[in-house]
């Protein structure tokens, strides 16, 4: 191969990866796509081809605590108001009007998209999901083992929602799980359930069940957050209502493994190991190149150590608050259009992160 040919190939390759679209602060500023017929391959999907969205996950996806009490005014504390799931604002599956969420970004391009959750209600029990939850199957407190139950909910609900062409509509199922698995890793009666191998098996089983039962689905696996980094950040923060008394720190009460430095180390290792398992599931389907089903993987290494503390909800400084959900929605959305090799490997917080506007030639990257 001549030097010139090599140069040519290199430059063509890099040109092909330059993103053509603009970046905006609100999805309303994104130009429309030119309408086209629905594609026949999952590897040819544009966002406007997505007609149905669904999600599996834990309290993050359920929207727990997104808009919480204002600790600076204790008179606002209303315990009944505290244990709420703001499912309409959840970054991966919320569809409240104007909210910064993936379904709302899809909706900008595909007004008929359905499946997103709306509204707010008290944290619920897993066999009693109101209609407004739609295809948000997430459960507060869930671990990977519970995904099977969540997939069953999804399978039942997806058939009962009007306007879905179950056979032919392209569906995007967002999955993020793992925080509670990490937090339980120091509990001797529970630790054997949260090994990387078991975690991977549970997620893979859920993905397979979706493949077998839901035609034309794109499963969007979102990596775990590096939860161990939250605790040094929130220590002694008045925003969280925390003092220097660690045993009164509510996020450690919710995540008992974070109480010791060995526990934090274990959680850090698990986050990395879980992400390897998720990546392996993506790689397996990537190789298969099926026409009607695939799995994509989004990087999620949020470098929390430099984040503003109000990224988290002041309810417990553990769950992301509204700022966190809005920001994560952009980070995950923007990655959808990048091939795996070009996705950022670490995310540092930027106050004014923008939203990428895909153009006609952009596809949801499956490679
Ligand atoms: C938009 O952001 C992407 C990175 O996500 C970048 O590659 C692209 O150049 C930006 N587009 C413009 C027009 O600035
Ligand atoms: C949305 O659904 C309506 C009614 O089925 C249909 O007429 C319209 O073309 C659809 N819009 C898009 C963008 O698919
Ligand atoms: C893909 O799905 C469509 C719609 O359900 C179906 O008609 C087609 O046969 C499927 N293709 C393959 C290769 O399974
Ligand atoms: C340990 O896990 C078991 C089983 O999930 C649970 O019942 C128990 O409350 C946990 N113990 C602690 C200290 O969190
Ligand atoms: C996760 O956080 C820990 C500190 O708690 C840090 O040492 C580690 O490098 C982080 N992991 C990644 C993948 O950045
Ligand atoms: C905790 O915060 C208070 C008030 O901001 C400060 O006076 C104190 O030194 C801090 N304590 C520790 C151990 O960082
Ligand atoms: C620290 O917090 C724990 C739990 O709220 C409480 O029992 C304990 O008395 C506190 N210690 C101090 C020194 O205030
Ligand atoms: C993570 O954030 C810290 C604090 O802002 C910064 O010093 C460090 O360089 C960041 N790490 C990476 C890999 O970006
Ligand atoms: C972010 O946007 C706000 C409002 O548009 C502006 O006031 C602020 O200066 C911007 N911050 C940065 C870091 O660009």
Q: Tell me: pLDDT of 102 over 80.
A: yes
**pLDDT given at position 10:** 44
Residue 6 — very low, low, confident or very high, per pLDDT cuts 50/70/90? Answer: very low
**Rounded Cα–Cα distance for residues 48 and 6 (Å):** 37
Verify whether ligand 9 is closer than 6 Å to residue 25 (CB atom). no
pLDDT of the residue at 128? 77
Whether the CB of 11 sits within 6 Å of ligand 8: no
pLDDT value at residue 13: 43
Pocket lining: 349 vs ligand 9, CB cutoff 6 Å = no
- What ligand is nearest to the CA atom of residue 35? 2
Q: What is the set of domains in the chain, with CATH numbers?
A: 39-58+142-356 (3.40.50)
Q: Which residue, by CA, sits nearest to atom 1 of ligand 9? A: 352
| Burial (CB count <10 Å: 0-12, 13-18, 19+), residue 4 | exposed
- Strands 121-122 and 84-85, bridge-based pairing: antiparallel
- pTM of whole model > 0.85? yes
- Residue whose CA is closest, atom 10 of ligand 8? 303
- Return the ligand 6 atom nearest residue 236 CA: 1
- CA-wise closest residue to 61 among 102, 91, 99: 91
* Mean pLDDT within 4-21: 54
Strands 23-24 and 355-356: antiparallel
- Contact 250 CB / ligand 5 (< 6 Å): no
Share of the chain above pLDDT 70, in %: 91
Ligand 8 near 25 CB (within 6 A):
no
pLDDT of residue 7: 44
Q: pLDDT tier at 83 (50, 70, 90 boundaries)?
A: confident
What is the per-residue pLDDT across 23-39, written as a single tens digit (0 to 9) for each?
999 999 999 999 999 99
Closest Cα to atom 13 of ligand 4? 187
Give residue-wise pLDDT tens across range 294-353: 999 999 999 999 999 999 998 899 999 999 999 999 999 999 999 999 999 999 999 999
**Which pair of tokens denotes residue 16?**
């092909």
What mean pLDDT comes out for the span 140-166? 97
Helix axes 261-288, 196-213, angle to 10 degrees: 30
Confidence band, pLDDT 50/70/90 cuts, at residue 16: very low
Task: Give the number of whichever ligand sits closest to the CA of residue 266.
Answer: 5
Q: According to the model, what pLDDT value does residue 17 have?
A: 57
């Amino acid at each position: 191969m001549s030097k010139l040919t090599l140069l040519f190939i290199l430059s063509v390759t890099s040109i092909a990866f330059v993103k053509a679209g603009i970046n905006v602060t609100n999805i309303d500023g994104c130009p429309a796509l030119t309408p086209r017929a629905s594609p026949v391959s999952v590897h040819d999907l544009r966002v406007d081809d997505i007609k149905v969205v669904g999600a599996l996950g834990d309290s993050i996806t359920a929207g727990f605590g997104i808009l919480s009490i204002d600790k600076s005014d204790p008179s606002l504390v209303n315990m009944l108001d505290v244990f709420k799931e703001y499912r309409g604002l959840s970054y991966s599956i919320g569809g409240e009007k104007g909210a910064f969420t993936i379904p709302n970004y899809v909706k900008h391009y595909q007004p008929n998209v359905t499946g997103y959750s709306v509204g707010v209600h008290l944290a619920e029990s897993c066999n009693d999901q109101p209609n407004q939850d739609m295809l948000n199957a997430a459960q507060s407190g869930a671990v990977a083992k519970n995904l099977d139950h969540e997939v069953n909910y999804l399978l039942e609900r997806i058939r009962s929602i009007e306007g879905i062409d179950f056979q032919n509509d392209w569906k995007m199922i967002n999955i993020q799980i793992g925080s509670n698995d990490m937090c339980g890793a120091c509990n001797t009666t529970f630790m054997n359930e949260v090994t990387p191998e078991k975690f991977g098996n549970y997620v893979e089983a859920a993905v397979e069940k979706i493949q077998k039962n839901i035609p034309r689905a794109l499963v969007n696996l979102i990596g775990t957050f590096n939860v161990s980094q939250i605790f040094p950040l929130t220590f002694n923060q008045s925003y969280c209502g925390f003092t220097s008394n660690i045993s009164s720190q509510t996020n450690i009460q919710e995540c008992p493994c974070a109480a010791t430095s060995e526990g934090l180390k274990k959680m850090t290792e698990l986050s990395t190991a879980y992400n390897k398992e998720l990546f392996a599931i993506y790689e397996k389907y990537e190789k298969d190149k099926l026409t009607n089903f695939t799995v994509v993987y989004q990087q999620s290494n949020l470098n929390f150590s430099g984040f503003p503390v109000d990224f988290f909800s002041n309810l417990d400084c553990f769950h992301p608050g509204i700022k966190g959900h809005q920001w994560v929605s952009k980070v995950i959305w923007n990655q959808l259009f990048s091939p795996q090799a070009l996705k950022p490997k670490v995310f540092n917080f930027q106050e004014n992160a923008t939203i990428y506007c895909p153009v006609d030639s952009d596809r949801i990257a499956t490679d």
